[in-house]
Amino acid sequence: MRIICPHCGARDRREFTYQGDAVALERPAPDAGGAAWDDYLHNRENPAGVTRDLWYHEQGCGAWLVVTRNTVTHAVLTTDLAATVREGLA
Amino acid sequence: MRFSGLRVLKEGLTGNTGWTPHWRDPEPKSDYDVIIIGGGGHGLSTAYYLARNHGITNVAVLEKGYVGGGNVGRNTTIVRANYFLPGNSEFYSHSLKLWEGLEHDLNYNVMHSQRGLINLFHSDGQRDAFARRGNAMINQGDDAVLLDREGVRKHLPYLDFDNTRFPVYGGLLHPRGGTARHDAVAWGYARGADTRGVDLIQNCEVTGIDIENGTVKGVQTTRGTIRAKKVAMVVAGRSGQVAAMAGMRLPIESHILQAFVTEGIKPVINHVVSFGMGHFYISQSDKGGLVFGGDLDFYASYAQRGNLPMMEHVMEAGMTLMPMIGKAKVLRSWGGVMDMSPDGSPVIDKTDIGGLFLNCGWNYGGFKAVPASGWATAHLIATGTPHDTAAGFRLDRFRTGRGLMDEEGTGSQHNLH
Ligand SMILES: Cc1cc2nc3c(=O)[nH]c(=O)nc-3n(C[C@H](O)[C@H](O)[C@H](O)COP(=O)(O)OP(=O)(O)OC[C@H]3O[C@@H](n4cnc5c(N)ncnc54)[C@H](O)[C@@H]3O)c2cc1C
Ligand SMILES: [Zn+2]
């Protein structure tokens, strides 16, 4: 599995650290309530198919990436800088 | 058909022509008292104990593939009771006791072999942690022996004791730990359930769960609608998808775990051994293959196959610990889809939907749990109350933070177990 870093190009999976579902970009407000926090921390869509997750290019440029990939085929579809994706959410 | 020594002898002398299929292949009925979704180890043992312990036999197990085709037939077969935390400890202790009587109970040779399990440690800190775990195991009524370096050498003379980077300080021996033949466990429970009247319906994928006014009514399948008073979701790595059919989101991420087996060789590894400084554990199958594995690939996956980095790590760790295995050729490798929970412990619980039950979150350790999990899930379905040994496996512990069971002490968060 190779991941395409927008800065560094296609690199070995070993250079990256996996964080988990990209839900981490949408942190609820501190007072959003128990259910919202439970969803954010624990509950997952967990799709068999296309998913979006966060990877950290630890042994490369140090960027946080949102990787869209297929959990059944391991194909990496698109990669975006997490910073850019967050701006889009704001 | 019952198995016995005499029967094996007679069949051997008469060309093995008298054996019959171990279970029926029935058409699904239009309704049941209980439907179990998933014909893996946990689904089959649940069905068996529903019939055996509670006399509930109007039961169907719906399996989308074939019995034993999931993780129950893909694991590395380690059976142990060396858990640490209250909640887990009594459950796995109960499971090991059930294992010890399983072959007689099922009249089936599951090749349960209590060859002893040794977890190696390589530092003072690790020794302390294992001493503490050993004490917890003894307090639970199970067995544990703390071995020093020379004690380990007696059992495992083939380790690289001179490794300067990761010296072997000792090991925690769990004499009653060992392995079993994974397929036989599935087949034995399947046959036991079928004999008691349970319908095992293979090639029957559940595609929807029917709920009316907050109560489950049955399921939609590739073989038609089947109604039931109670439905249990027991689908391991597919838990997220099946629960979504009931409108539920689960605290589960599916991850890949790989395993490897070499060509068959003469007996050389008599125990189950795990390395304390890298992801590697090993045992030898009765056929002679060295069966070994490591940790998750560590990214969400349903591929049932892993990638090369973890493979390389596992092989490196194995070579570091016991260089002799470098001479054996790896024959096969494969992966299974693990239902990982945030705290690394399972769920056996009711849901907010009447009559709908959930069994999931077995992570990479659910094979040893098969007997006690079926026992407890059947108890919950039959009586509506959790079994004593599984009372801690509540689904709401993540929401409330009360009763989390984080064996590794890394925190209740996805991707840490
Ligand atoms: C490589 C590897 C090594 C492991 N090693 C160990 C070990 O040494 N010791 C240990 O204790 N545990 C181990 N495990 C973990 C253990 O195998 C699992 O935790 C356990 O088998 C999961 O429960 P199960 O047997 O019920 O799962 P499965 O056998 O996967 O059963 C689930 C079943 O549900 C079916 N299903 C899914 N969706 C549907 C649907 N919609 N409709 C109908 N049926 C459906 C599937 O086809 C499957 O047969 C290991 C796992 C792997 C992959
Ligand atoms: Zn980069």
Give the ligand at the shortest distance from the Cα of B95.
Answer: 1
Cβ-nearest to B249 among A44, A53, A71: A44
- Whether domain B5-77+183-251+343-400 has CATH 3.10.620.30: the reply is no
C-alpha B213/C-alpha B215 separation (Å) is 6
| 8 Å CB contact of A43 and B307 | no
Residue type for position B396: D
Second CATH level (architecture) for the domain B113-177+254-340: 2-Layer Sandwich (3.30)
pTM over 0.90, yes/no: yes
C-alpha A41/C-alpha A43 separation (Å) is 7
pLDDT value, residue B313: 96
User: Boundaries of CATH 3.50.50.60 in chain B?
Assistant: 5-77+183-251+343-400
pLDDT value, residue B162: 87
Coil, helix or strand for B348? strand
What lies within 8 Å, CB to CB, of B183 at 6+ separation is B68, B72, B73
Q: Which atom in ligand 1 lies closest to the alpha carbon of residue B67?
A: 49
Number of domains in chain A: 1
Cβ–Cβ contact A31 with B under 8 A: no
Is 0.90 exceeded by the ipTM?
Answer: yes
Pick out chain B residues at pLDDT < 50. none
pLDDT value, residue B116: 98
pLDDT digits (tens, 9 = 90+) for B346-376: 999 999 999 999 999 999 999 999 999 999 9
CA-to-CA dists, residue B285 to B111, B257, B291, B342, B369, angstroms: 10, 19, 7, 32, 20
| E strand intervals along B134-241 | 145-148, 170-174, 178-179, 199-201, 206-212, 215-221, 224-233
Using CB atoms within 10 A of its CB, is residue B309 exposed (0-12), middle (13-18) or buried (19+)?
Answer: middle
C-alpha B233/C-alpha B350 separation (Å) is 10
| Domain containing residue A32: CATH number | 3.30.2270.10
pLDDT value, residue A89: 80
pLDDT value, residue A64: 97
What lies within 8 Å, CB to CB, of B14 at 6+ separation is none
Ligand 1 environment, Cβ below 6 A: B 37-43, 62-65, 69-72, 74-78, 205-206, 234-238, 242, 257-259, 293, 336, 362, 364-368
Q: Which atom in ligand 1 lies closest to the alpha carbon of residue B44?
A: 26
Nearest CA in chain A to B396: A38
A9 alpha carbon to ligand 2 midpoint, in Å?
Answer: 7
C-alpha B406/C-alpha B346 separation (Å) is 11
- Using most ligand atoms within 8 A of CB, pick from B367, B373, B375, B417 the residue to mutate for ligand 1: B367
pLDDT value, residue A1: 87
Pick out chain A residues at pLDDT < 50. none
Rg (CA), chain B: 21
Mutate which: A23, A42, A45, vs B, most B CBs within 10 A: A42
| 8 Å CB contact of B307 and A19 | no
C-alpha B161/C-alpha B153 separation (Å) is 8
Range of the domain at A12: 2-86
Min CA distance, A89 vs chain B (Å)?
23
Nearest CA in chain B to A67: B299
DSSP strand pairing (B281-284 vs A17-21): unpaired
Coil, helix or strand for A65? strand
Cβ-nearest to B415 among A19, A48, A51: A19
Q: Where are the alpha helices (DSSP H) in B31-88?
A: 41-54
pLDDT value, residue B2: 87
CA-to-CA dists, residue B18 to B10, B12, B26, B107, angstroms: 9, 10, 22, 17
User: Among A79, A59, A81, which Cα is nearest to A69's?
Assistant: A79
| Residue B323 burial (CB count, 10 A) | 13
Cβ–Cβ contact A44 with B under 8 A: yes
